[in-house]
Amino acid sequence: MSIGTEEKKAIEIIHTALAEGINYFDTADLYDFGENEKIVGKALKEVRDEVIIASKVGNRWNQERSGWTWDPSKAYIKEQVKQSLKRLGTDYIDLYQLHGGTIDDPIEETIEAFEELKAEGFIRYYGISSIRPNVIREYVKKSNIVSVMMQYSILDRKPEEESLPLLHENGVSVVTRGPVAKGLLSERMLEKASEKGYQDYSNEELTEILPLLKEKAASLRSLTEVAFQYNLANPAVASVVAGASSVEQVRSNAKAARGNPLTEEEVAVIKKISKQTFYQDHR
């Protein structure tokens, strides 16, 4: 999502990721009006069989491209997969995800669309991208999803008590996004802080907590590494998706993912410093 539309630079970022051992690439038809899918497909064409390409569907751009509407209908999903395949320049998508979802959707119809695409060979697997507990529970109960993409980090631990255990128990993998919390969990931590704070933290709380995390949990390694390893320490988490708008960021992220796992003591310290919060909506 963050690599931009300057093709040469974007492809260089993707090729750097490949060189760093990254094999999971996540895009969506929504990103840059489909241009992102084209760039991803072009960059990975020569190594298609060696990588996992994930894309998403459900958001329909209006004609002016000034906004989009939500459309989880079977007809829309089955039509849009063809457009994504064309842009990606591939015969199949490894993981096709519903890009959102509400409890008012025609969920059975949506599942039927994904199951048919799987049977027809257009996709290998399907999942959803959602943080809504009521939606996640329905898909776990009624579908064969293999993954749920959701925001999760030291500064956003809402999935921990509810969603992650449920998904782990049911053999559904979690793909986490936002592991460094918009740069707050990086070496630039307080530079990235805003007056609005972040999630359930005020700016004042961040000013107190971030240096404490650095001192108690990241004194011997980077805060970025600690952030990645915190996500990876949860048994439900299969992959960490972090945005990167430069080659340097990709290398930094890859290094963080390759770091040493956190000990139980380190995880306990992080949990003591940060706070456990809960989803208030979409019950």
Residue 217: inside a domain: no
| Alpha-carbon gap, residue 56 to 134, rounded angstroms | 20
Residue 238: inside a domain: yes
| Alpha-carbon gap, residue 69 to 191, rounded angstroms | 35
Q: Are 279 and 131 in contact (CB under 8 A)?
A: yes
Which element (helix H / strand E) includes 97? strand 93-98
Domain that holds residue 115: 7-181+234-260
Output the pLDDT for position 2: 85
Residue 283: inside a domain: no
Please count the structural domains in the chain: 1
Q: Which residues are catalytic?
A: 31
Which domain CATH number covers 84? 3.20.20.100
Q: Which two tokens stand for residue 189?
A: 């931590």
Residue 2: inside a domain: no
The CA-based dihedral angle spanning residues 71, 69, 278, 213, taken in that order and rounded to the nearest 10 degrees: 120
pLDDT in tens, the chain (283 residues): 888 889 999 999 999 999 999 999 999 988 777 789 999 999 999 999 999 999 999 888 777 778 878 899 999 999 999 999 999 999 999 999 999 999 999 999 999 999 999 999 999 999 999 999 999 999 999 999 999 999 999 999 999 999 999 999 999 999 999 999 999 998 888 787 888 899 999 999 999 999 999 999 988 899 999 999 999 999 999 999 998 899 999 999 999 999 999 999 999 999 999 999 999 888 8
pTM, whole model, 2 decimals? 0.93
Per DSSP, what are the bridge partners of residue 123? 93
Residue 228: inside a domain: no
**Do β-strands 123-129 and 237-241 pair in parallel, antiparallel, or remain unpaired?**
unpaired
